[in-house]
Amino acid sequence: MAESIEKKKARARTLIRALERAYPDAKIALEFSTPLELLVATILAAQCTDERVNQVTRTLFKKYTSAGAYAKAELATFEREVHSTGFYKAKTRAVIGMAKELVAKHGGTVPRTLEELTALPGVGRKTANVVLGNAYGQPAIAVDTHVFRVSQRLGVAKSDDPEKVHDQLCEVIPQPKWTQFSHLLTTHGRRQCMARKPACPTCPVRALCPWPGKSLK
């Protein structure tokens, strides 16, 4: 019999408590000090590790300190500066295009709504939710690859479409926990519930996990 929404919500609350105990240090791994820095770092983090992005942005953020500075960046120079994050041509176009739009439509300030953020070139729903949740303190679930995989193994969402997973999680997870829930699942996905070989025997939420593929050793 399918789990009722109320039972799923109760299980999700228990899961969150267990994950909070297991990962009291769970937080965003990207380094930033302004919403603009987080927006740029999140665009650069596509298909790249947060560690690599942090290495690049430590230099980048000293040079480009406003949306206007990114908007005026020289294409080939910027491509070189972000080269090591991969997909550097597309990321350069995205960052410069996004910055031009910020200057043209928002006075150089990063907007505070999902609609305005996702209207910027190169900014999808995940990126927008990272910014809203971590730079603006608005509850937001960012469905990265770990949240997508782990939430399904834990049976709190089910879909091939990250947007549907996002909407299902918003129904089940208490709103004040949305941002932290993303960090908990990302941390759990990196340290325990890895894509290829999850470490199920030592998993702190093993008893709450309904995934039929969980391993015994």
Binding site for ligand SF4 (CB under 6 A): 153-154, 192-193, 198-200, 203, 205-206, 209, 211, 214
Is 126 noted as a catalytic residue in this protein? yes
Q: Residue 38 carries which side chain, given as an amino acid letter?
A: L
Is 9 noted as a catalytic residue in this protein? no
Closest approach, Cβ 204 to ligand SF4, in A, equals 8
Closest approach, Cβ 210 to ligand SF4, in A, equals 8
Nearest CB to ligand SF4, comparing residues 75 and 199: 199
C-alpha to C-alpha distance for 197 and 82, rounded to whole angstroms: 31
* Residue that has been written with the tokens 């041509």 in this structure: 89
Nearest CB to ligand SF4, comparing residues 55 and 152: 152
C-alpha to C-alpha distance for 183 and 56, rounded to whole angstroms: 22
Instruction: With residue 91 as reference, give the H or E element that holds it.
Output: helix 88-106
Nearest CB to ligand SF4, comparing residues 121 and 204: 204
Closest approach, Cβ 207 to ligand SF4, in A, equals 9
Name the catalytic one among 144, 158, 161, 217.
Answer: 144
Closest approach, Cβ 181 to ligand SF4, in A, equals 14
Name the catalytic one among 126, 158, 197, 214.
Answer: 126
Handedness of CA 46, 67, 118, 146 (dihedral sign): positive
Nearest CB to ligand SF4, comparing residues 60 and 193: 193
Catalytic residues: 126, 144
